[in-house]
Chain A
Amino acid sequence: MLSPVLCSDLAALEPEYTEADVISTVEFNQTGEFLATGDKGGRVVIFQREPQGEYNVYSTFQSHEPEFDYLKSLEIEEKINKIRWLPPHNPAHFLLTTNDKTVKLWKVSERDKRAEGYNLRDEEGRLKDLSTITTLQVPVLRPMDLLVEASPRRVFANAHAYHINSISVNSDCETYLSADDLRINLWHLNITDRSFNIVDLKPENMEDLSEVITVAEFHPHHCHLLAFSSSTGTTRLCDMRARALCDQHAKLFEEAVDPSRRSFFSEIVSSVSDVKFSHSGRYLLTRDYLTVKVWDLNMENKPLETYQVHDYLRTKLCSLYESDCIFDKFECAWNGTDSVIMTGAYNNYFRMFDRASLRDVTLEASREVCKRRAVLQPRRVCVGKKRKETDVSVDSLDFRKKILHTAWHPKENIIAIAASNNLYIFQDRMAPNGHHNTPEIQSAPPK
């Protein structure tokens, strides 16, 4: 059972939060000890897990600033689109952050010593009388209060003509990819002035444009494999061993759509908004507007499993189109053992699906629950008449409250949910720390 361990309200002091406070990405590091969030104001907040299990703010820094492209007369937003942690190098932590155009590598490190002892000045900085200096003094290091510093290490700029939607670190630990609407570039982490274009969907004539890249991710173990998905609902797997340019895919994951069910919205709702390799590397999880699908890398023609996230919206697509909600990009996540998947929905609800038992649950991230520190209760959305007091009618869902960004601790049953300016972290209380077991998902109550 999940209960809140943290409800960070980044605008707690102001009743009305500003647009800049809206969280735009959430990501655990490889061990799960740290969690990073990025927001629309270009800030990154890093949380560290305390021994008691609480996540507290460890470091906050401004990663990107608003810029202006004078050549194209375009404003470049500071919004953090994605954050990816690098595998640990040394006691410091490294993460890549990106806005629409520029990827940056940040180092977050601790300092607990300070040099003391000047020759020409005393510790307050006053100049000493020169005649009193008869010997040279070498500074000595003394312990001080722990100081966490974030410093920019590299700036990878000027390689994207379109907006960057994904970054992903390769398992070789020396390269990463950045993907925009039409191209995927490969970078070396130590080289900022050069990147290699490995996928290019840009047609000769932009009028022939039929699809855009929505997400791209490297395989967790095989350094030569990468997957990218497109707005037409396909996901392609590329093998970088075969060619320097990966425009030709090795595999194409696509489910045939029943022509009789085609509608104006078919293509829009089939656009893939997120792709995640399973930790094992065997499966791909894709999210489109109404479903999450699990694909076996060895089976291209149809998904292994398809889960309905909010099928009750199928009749509401027209109004969702009018309000632009239909273009919302929901993310999805695997748990540490690849047995449960999680994705967001509207009305601050998020969904979890247990792959073995096929049970699913809808939960709500709300401040009330957080305040009470209570166990999350399942919610039920009903179409038509309410059957139970706690049921929520489709028509009363708040489409402004959406959970787009979610992350799952790599080993434990701890999840991070971003709902506008709030970050919720829930933990499975039943599971002892460090013990791997699937979270108890209660099935929907009997009808």
Chain B
Amino acid sequence: MAGAEGDDSLYPIAVLIDELRNEDVQLRLNSIKKLSTIALALGVERTRTELLPFLTDTIYDEDEVLLALAEQLGSFTVLVGGPEFVHNLLPPLESLATVEETVVRDKAVESLRKISQEHSPVDLEVHFVPLVKRLASGDWFTSRTSACGLFSVCYPRVSSTVKAEIRQHFRTLCSDDTPMVRRAAASKLGEFAKVLELDYVKSDIIPLFTALASDEQDSVRLLAVEAGVSIATLLPQEDLEALVMPTLRQAAEDKSWRVRYMVADKFSELQKAVGPEITKTDLVPAFQNLLKDCEAEVRAAAANKVKVFCENLPEDSRETIIMTHILPCVKELVSDTNQHVKSALASVIMGLSTILGKDNTVEHLLPLFLVQLKDECPEVRLNIISNLDCVNEVIGIRQLSQSLLPAIVELAEDAKWRVRLAIIEYMPLLAGQLGVEFFDEKLNSLCMAWLIDHVFAIREAATCNLMKLVEKFGAEWAQNTIVPKVLGMANDSNYLHRMTTLFCINALSGVCGQEITTKHMLPVVLKMSTDQVANVRFNVARCLQKIGPVLDSSALQAEVKPVLEKLATDQDMDVKYFALEAISGTFPFISLTFET
């Protein structure tokens, strides 16, 4: 009996183990994902001696399987017998750290970093550090790149002799022959610097940083920029000027636009790292240059940072710097030749108003907003409109409304439906800022016009927009302004417009409440049940199901039920189907007697 019981519990595990080598990738993947179950069944001893050696050699598999394996092994410590035995996990992870697929290698490194913390200091030196050294001096660049990510996790926990060796290995990798390894080293330089003693940062890291930042390959140089930012945060203020700034200045003027782009992209981090004094003396002119760069990609990246840069300027001189140094550049960017630059600027420029205050905004920024609102590129206009809330807080939106309206109208009628869709999505926000009167006067007609757009996505968004507007302005407003118009469309000669009425009712019934729905909407829906177009009829059925919960039970029984029953005998298959569906959804206690 005991044996038979054993078989029963073994069987599912046996299947899992066999499927580790199934021909179907999906089954192998499933098995790997349940590796912990297998290990649990085998016990710690057999996991160490049989399962792990097998896994170490299965690196032939598909990437997704290897990825899952690399991830699993990161949390396998308990299953091999706890921290005491954690080093048994190193061989399979080592072989995974050398495969060609970057995602797998990265995951293996991540798991290695994780389990490194579970090594005792002794095990770290006896097992983990030798692995790092093997990877660092491997024949293939794949293993050397993986090594770069492992130095920083073992450095703090090893003896000073081993520390010296680790630093030496890192130095070697920074001057590796292959650019891939130098890139990996450059990207881990900042992280490694953080765990080093300050003296070594100055004596070891700074020369490496300088060398990588002047590498012959710009793909390496650009990664050094980010490392520079991290290093700058580690050094005392008085050392920055001598040790880091010359290199960073050089990067900001690099011949390669990709390096300058990186500087622009990391500018706010850089600003925080170097502090207010260097910001004033160095970063302001550098930022001006980036805003005027000859490459549009760089200007766009810098333009994106305008607001954050200005926000983080030292308070005592913020306004002066913005007004005398930054704003002139921004003014030029407003009429840039490249639309990406303009739209990047448009997405942040409104934020300047909170920094500069009411008077400056009216005098200096407002003209720029107005220019951008009239820009030929719809994305620029959209970005301005989508950030109106910042200006609203400072000067109120009325100042802008004169120019805002034509811009909105133009976007609302743009030939590209995606542009129209984008502006619809901002409507509820605009309505909230502009207030109900302005809205009724100027924008209401636009919102109704979208309901009869020839693109379905626009009609659908317009429907949803109405619902959000009612949420803002209330049911009474809805009853007076939009409900009559929506219901009027029920008599339209175009069946698509008639269906729009139904879709609007679907969306509005909930927010309008029972009274409006029962009194005004329901009669229209019921009347449409005799529409000659089948699509309208089955949408009536769907609509009735949708608004059912809003209606009271007497209306349901007296009015809805007979109509649905009639639709359930419709000659059109789809109408019948949706009517039956609606009946079973709305009246769950009625058995379906119409099926014949």
The verdict on A109 contacting chain B, using a C-beta distance below 8 Å, is yes
Q: Closest B residue to A109 by CB, please name it.
A: B60
Q: Mark A304-324, 1 if CB is under 8 A from B, else 0.
A: 000000000000000000000
Contacts of A148 in B (CB 8 A): none
Q: Is the interface of B mostly helix, strand, loop or mixed?
A: helix
Q: Mark A113-139, 1 if CB is under 8 A from B, else 0.
A: 101001111000000001101111111
The answer on a CB contact under 8 Å between A243 and B257 is yes
The answer on a CB contact under 8 Å between A133 and B14 is yes
The verdict on A141 contacting chain B, using a C-beta distance below 8 Å, is yes
The answer on a CB contact under 8 Å between B54 and A139 is yes
The answer on a CB contact under 8 Å between A174 and B180 is yes
Contacts of A109 in B (CB 8 A): 60
Q: Mark B9-41, 1 if CB is under 8 A from A, else 0.
A: 011011101101100000000000000000001
With A90-B98, A136-B41, A140-B54 as given contacts, are A119 and B257 in contact (CB-CB < 8 Å)? no
Contacts of A138 in B (CB 8 A): 17, 42, 46, 50-51, 54
With A89-B100, A90-B142, A136-B10 as given contacts, are A241 and B257 in contact (CB-CB < 8 Å)? yes
The answer on a CB contact under 8 Å between B296 and A107 is no
Q: Closest A residue to B102 by CB, please name it.
A: A190
Q: Which of B35-69 contact A (CB under 8 A)?
A: 41-42, 46, 50-51, 54, 57-58, 60
CA distance A88 to B138 in the complex (A): 13
| CB of A138 to closest CB in B, whole Å | 4
CA distance A223 to B221 in the complex (A): 12
Most buried by A among B6, B10, B294: B10
Q: Which of B279-302 contact A (CB under 8 A)?
A: 294-297
Contacts of A139 in B (CB 8 A): 17, 20-21, 54
Contacts of B387 in A (CB 8 A): none
Contacts of A87 in B (CB 8 A): 178
With A136-B41, A241-B258 as given contacts, are A223 and B141 in contact (CB-CB < 8 Å)? no
CA distance A107 to B143 in the complex (A): 18
The answer on a CB contact under 8 Å between B14 and A119 is yes
The answer on a CB contact under 8 Å between B42 and A136 is yes
Contacts of A242 in B (CB 8 A): 255, 257, 295
CA distance A60 to B295 in the complex (A): 46
| CB of B584 to closest CB in A, whole Å | 43
With A90-B140, A92-B100, A141-B57 as given contacts, are A224 and B50 in contact (CB-CB < 8 Å)? no
Q: Of the 9-residue stretches B84-92, B212-220, B312-320, B492-500, which lies at the interface with chain A?
A: B212-220
CA distance A58 to B257 in the complex (A): 44
Q: Mark A239-277, 1 if CB is under 8 A from B, else 0.
A: 011111000000000000000000000000000000000
CA distance A244 to B13 in the complex (A): 56
CA distance A171 to B41 in the complex (A): 49
Q: Which of A133, A141, A222, A240 contacts B7 (CB 8 A)?
A: A133
| CB of B460 to closest CB in A, whole Å | 28
Contacts of A440 in B (CB 8 A): none
Contacts of A118 in B (CB 8 A): 18
The answer on a CB contact under 8 Å between B100 and A107 is yes
CA distance A241 to B253 in the complex (A): 12
The verdict on B588 contacting chain A, using a C-beta distance below 8 Å, is no
| CB of B433 to closest CB in A, whole Å | 37
The answer on a CB contact under 8 Å between A121 and B258 is no
CA distance A134 to B2 in the complex (A): 11
The answer on a CB contact under 8 Å between A90 and B100 is yes
Contacts of B560 in A (CB 8 A): none
The verdict on B179 contacting chain A, using a C-beta distance below 8 Å, is yes
CA distance A376 to B102 in the complex (A): 47
With A172-B179, A172-B217 as given contacts, are A244 and B295 in contact (CB-CB < 8 Å)? yes
Q: Which of B10, B51, B58 contacts A133 (CB 8 A)?
A: B10
The verdict on A173 contacting chain B, using a C-beta distance below 8 Å, is yes
| CB of B106 to closest CB in A, whole Å | 11
Q: Mark A66-110, 1 if CB is under 8 A from B, else 0.
A: 000000000000000000000111111010000000000001010
The verdict on A111 contacting chain B, using a C-beta distance below 8 Å, is yes
Contacts of A224 in B (CB 8 A): 218, 256
CA distance A138 to B18 in the complex (A): 8
The verdict on B568 contacting chain A, using a C-beta distance below 8 Å, is no
Q: Which of A131, A241, A244 contacts B296 (CB 8 A)?
A: A244
Contacts of B46 in A (CB 8 A): 136, 138
The verdict on B208 contacting chain A, using a C-beta distance below 8 Å, is no
CA distance A137 to B42 in the complex (A): 9
With A92-B100, A241-B255, A244-B257 as given contacts, are A120 and B140 in contact (CB-CB < 8 Å)? no
The verdict on B3 contacting chain A, using a C-beta distance below 8 Å, is yes
Q: Which of B120-149 contact A (CB under 8 A)?
A: 140-143
The answer on a CB contact under 8 Å between B178 and A173 is yes
| CB of A118 to closest CB in B, whole Å | 5
Q: Mark B527-541, 1 if CB is under 8 A from A, else 0.
A: 000000000000000
CA distance A353 to B141 in the complex (A): 37
The verdict on B227 contacting chain A, using a C-beta distance below 8 Å, is no
Contacts of B41 in A (CB 8 A): 136
CA distance A223 to B179 in the complex (A): 10
Contacts of B179 in A (CB 8 A): 171-174, 223
CA distance A221 to B177 in the complex (A): 12
Q: Closest A residue to B259 by CB, please name it.
A: A241
CA distance A174 to B100 in the complex (A): 12
Q: Which of A111, A113, A130 contacts B11 (CB 8 A)?
A: A130
CA distance A231 to B94 in the complex (A): 51
Q: Closest A residue to B103 by CB, please name it.
A: A190
| CB of A214 to closest CB in B, whole Å | 27
| CB of B287 to closest CB in A, whole Å | 20
CA distance A94 to B60 in the complex (A): 15
CA distance A131 to B14 in the complex (A): 13
CA distance A286 to B216 in the complex (A): 27
CA distance A240 to B42 in the complex (A): 57
CA distance A113 to B179 in the complex (A): 33
The answer on a CB contact under 8 Å between A136 and B257 is no
Q: Which of B3, B21, B100, B294 contacts A115 (CB 8 A)?
A: B21
CA distance A244 to B15 in the complex (A): 54
CA distance A137 to B294 in the complex (A): 66
Contacts of A130 in B (CB 8 A): 7, 11
CA distance A91 to B296 in the complex (A): 42
| CB of A6 to closest CB in B, whole Å | 29
Q: Which of B245-279 contact A (CB under 8 A)?
A: 255-258
The answer on a CB contact under 8 Å between A134 and B258 is no
Q: Mark A7-28, 1 if CB is under 8 A from B, else 0.
A: 0000000000000000000000
CA distance A362 to B50 in the complex (A): 63
The answer on a CB contact under 8 Å between B257 and A223 is no
The answer on a CB contact under 8 Å between A120 and B14 is yes
Q: Closest A residue to B217 by CB, please name it.
A: A223
The verdict on B99 contacting chain A, using a C-beta distance below 8 Å, is yes
With A118-B18, A138-B17, A172-B179 as given contacts, are A90 and B99 in contact (CB-CB < 8 Å)? yes
Contacts of B57 in A (CB 8 A): 113, 141
| CB of B389 to closest CB in A, whole Å | 33
| CB of A200 to closest CB in B, whole Å | 15
Q: Which of A21-52 contact B (CB under 8 A)?
A: none
| Known pairs A115-B58, A223-B219 / 11 extra A-B pairs, C-beta < 8 Å | A90-B100, A92-B100, A115-B21, A119-B15, A131-B4, A136-B42, A141-B54, A141-B57, A172-B219, A224-B218, A244-B296
Q: Could you jot down 23 A-B contacts, CB within 8 Å?
A: A89-B142, A90-B100, A115-B21, A115-B58, A118-B18, A130-B7, A131-B3, A133-B14, A134-B6, A134-B10, A136-B41, A139-B21, A140-B50, A141-B54, A141-B58, A172-B219, A174-B219, A223-B219, A241-B256, A241-B258, A242-B255, A242-B257, A244-B296
Interface residues of B (CB under 8 A from A): 3-4, 6-7, 10-11, 13-15, 17-18, 20-21, 41-42, 46, 50-51, 54, 57-58, 60, 98-100, 102, 140-143, 178-180, 183, 216-219, 255-258, 294-297
The 5 residue pairs across chains A and B that have the minimum distance between CB atoms: A119-B14, A241-B256, A138-B50, A90-B140, A89-B100
Interface residues of A (CB under 8 A from B): 87-92, 94, 107, 109, 111, 113, 115, 118-121, 130-131, 133-141, 171-174, 190, 221-224, 240-244
